[in-house]
């Protein structure tokens, strides 16, 4: 509920309605949560593991920025998004908080040609949309929230992402 609260209101309202949870009930549940944002969400991997459970897999981060050389990606499953991974990259250097924290699809979308109109909020992540688009331009923000524009042939779409999870998707003019 803590992460859901930070999501775009239109997406959050759909998820709460599907769960049958009111905004006020969601607030009560959030208060009961032992996780605090952003302090613990971006805390060390041991704290994250204590709060959300053991990572389902870990692996070296391929081609990390130089300052994060030797980092390991830790993949967690969160109850509201069992179809996605919650990923936190841990640097081996002392004092570094996790970096690259956010959602990723569990499996690559293996389509040769994607109709961008079929891309759905709450199912696609920034990394997957970027992978299937012809090009991507970051329009605003980064990290927790970003607005990105994608070109698919002659079509242009704009997406709002929270921690890499698609929150809003619309066709725009090039």
Alpha-carbon distance of 125 to 128, in angstroms, equals: 5
What pLDDT does 87 receive? 94
Low-confidence stretches of the chain (pLDDT beneath 50):
none
What pLDDT does 36 receive? 62
Alpha-carbon distance of 174 to 162, in angstroms, equals: 23
Torsion of CA 112, 158, 84, 78, to 10 degrees: 180
What pLDDT does 18 receive? 93
Adjacent-strand bridge partners of 88:
74
**Interacting residues of 31 by C-beta distance below 8 A, sequence separation 6+:** none
State the pTM of this model. Answer: 0.87
């Amino acid at each position: 509920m803590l992460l859901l609260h930070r999501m775009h209101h239109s997406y959050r309202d759909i998820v709460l309605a599907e769960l049958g949870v009111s905004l006020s009930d969601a607030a009560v549940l959030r208060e009961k949560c032992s996780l605090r944002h952003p302090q613990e969400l971006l805390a060390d991997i041991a704290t994250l593991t204590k709060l959300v459970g053991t990572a389902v897999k870990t692996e070296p981060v391929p081609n990390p920025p130089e300052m994060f050389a030797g980092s390991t990606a830790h993949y967690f499953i969160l109850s509201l998004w069992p179809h996605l991974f919650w990923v936190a990259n841990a640097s081996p250097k002392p004092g570094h908080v996790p970096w690259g924290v956010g959602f990723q699809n569990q499996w690559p979308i293996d389509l040769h040609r994607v109709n961008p109109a079929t891309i759905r909020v709450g199912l696609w992540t920034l990394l997957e949309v970027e992978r299937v688009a012809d090009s991507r331009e970051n329009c605003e923000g980064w990290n927790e929230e970003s607005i990105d524009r994608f070109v698919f042939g002659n079509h242009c779409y704009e997406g709002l992402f929270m921690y890499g999870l698609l929150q809003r998707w619309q066709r725009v003019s090039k």
